[in-house]
Amino acid sequence: MIRFEQVSKTYPGGQQALRQVNFHIAPGEMAFLTGHSGAGKSTLLKLISIMERPTVGRVMINGHDLNRIRRQQIPFIRRDIGMIFQSHQLLMDKSVFDNVALPLIIEGYSHKEVSKRVSAVLDRVGLSDKSRCLPIALSGGEQQRVGIARAVVNKPPLLLADEPTGNLDPKLSLEIIRLFEDFNQAGVAVLIATHDLGLIARMKYRTLTLKKGQMITDGLTEDWPGDDDESAI
C-alpha cells in the first residue's frame, strides 16, 4: 500500500528531516510511527499526502510513484487518503455536520447522499447528537472525533494520523485508537504517528521508529524495547 524507497528529505534551510528511509505497509495493515519530537514523523506523513516532496528516493502508494503526480492531480490523491491532525484542522465557523460533509461536497455528491453518509459516520464516532454544534462547543476528544469522521466519510483506503491523541488524556486516547482499530478492521490501512509510547506499549501493532530522520526499528510492539527505553530514542 505504502512503500518508501531510499527516501531522504532535506528542507530548504538545510535541515535533514529524513535519511534513506525504507519500509512497506501492506493494504489493510495498521502501524504506528514513533520517535522523539523532531525525528521526522510529520515529514514522513507529509511525503505520503504530497504536502512535501522527497529530495531523494521514491514514495509509492499502491504501486504509483508519487514523484510522477503533477500538481493538478494532488487533490485527487488526497481524496484517497484520510488525514487526521493533532490540531484537528476543523472550520470553526461551520457546524460539525458541515465540517464532516466538506470532502463529499468537494467530490460533488448529491445533497441526499451527503446527509446519509454524514449521519452514518457521525453515528459511528458517537457524535450523532452534536451534528448541529459548532466545533468550539465540543471537548478536545469530541473535536478529534469530528476530524476522524471527516477523514473517513468518503471511505478512503488509507488513513494517516499525525499525533491524533496529542492533547488527550490516556483514557480518551485509547478511545480514539479503538476507533482507528474499528476502521482498520473494515479494511482500511492506518498509519499513526505518535510520541505517546505508553499508548503504543499497550497494543500489539507494528511500530516504525525514527531517530534523527533514520528508521532505527521496524517490528511488532512485542519485540520493541518498551517504555523504560524512552530516553534512548
Partner 1 sequence: MSLLFKGRSQGAERTGISLPQRLVMFFISHVRQALASLGELWRNPAASMMTIAVLGLSITLPSTLYILLKNTERVSAGWDQASEITLFLHRDTQAGDIQQLQTRLKLWPEVESVVHIDKAQAMEEFQQLSGFGEALSYLDNNPLPDVLLVTPTSKHTSPTAAGLLLDKLRKEREVEVGQLDIQWLERLHGLVGIAKELVSVVALLLFLAVVLIIGNTIRLNILNKRDEILVMKLVGATDAFIQRPFLYTGFWYGLLGGLLAWVTVALLLWWMGDSISKVTQLYQTQFKVDGLHGQALLLMLGLSILLGLAGSLLSVHKHIRAIEPK
- In the complex, which residues of this chain contact partner 1 (CB under 8 A)? 46, 49, 51-52, 61-62, 64, 69, 72-73, 75-80, 83, 89-91, 102-104, 106-110, 113, 150, 154, 157
Identify which of residues 17 and 199 has a Cβ nearer to ligand ADP in the complex.
17
Q: Considering the rule CB under 6 A, would residue 34 count as an interface residue with ligand ADP?
A: no
Reading the block at residue 46, the C-alpha cell is: 507529509
Alpha helices by DSSP H, listed for the chain, are 41-48, 74-78, 96-106, 111-124, 140-152, 170-185, 197-201
Sites for Mg ion among residues 24-53 (CB under 5 A): 42
Cα 191 from Cα 2, distance rounded (Å): 10
Cβ proximity to ligand ADP: between 26 and 51 the closer is: 51
Strand 206-211 relative to strand 189-193: parallel, antiparallel, unpaired? unpaired
Q: Which is nearer to Mg ion, 10 or 119 (CB)?
A: 10
**11 scored as a contact of ligand ADP (CB under 6 A):** yes
The amino acid sitting at 46 is K
Nearest approach in angstroms of CB 91 to partner 1 is 6
Residue with cell 528511509: 21
Report the C-alpha gap between 221 and 233 in whole angstroms.
Answer: 15
Nearest to 66 by CA among 47, 46, 83: 47
Among 25, 43, 50, 190, binds ligand ADP (CB under 6 A): 43
C-alpha 142/C-alpha 68 separation (Å) is: 38
Instruction: Find the Cα–Cα–Cα–Cα dihedral 74, 75, 80, 85, rounded to 10°.
Output: 100
Q: What is the DSSP letter of 91?
A: -
Q: Is 143 near Mg ion (CB under 5 A)?
A: no
Q: Which does 22 bind (CB under 5 to 8 A by kind): partner 1, Mg ion, ligand ADP, none?
A: none
- Least distance (Å) between residue 72 CB and partner 1: 7
Residues in binding contact with Mg ion, number by CB under 5 A: 1
For residue 13, the partner it binds in ligand ADP, Mg ion, partner 1, none, with Cβ less than 5 to 8 A by kind, is: ligand ADP
- β-partners of residue 74 are none
40 binds ligand ADP (CB under 6 A): yes
164 belongs to the binding site for ligand ADP (CB under 6 A): no
Binding positions for Mg ion, rule: CB under 5 A: 42
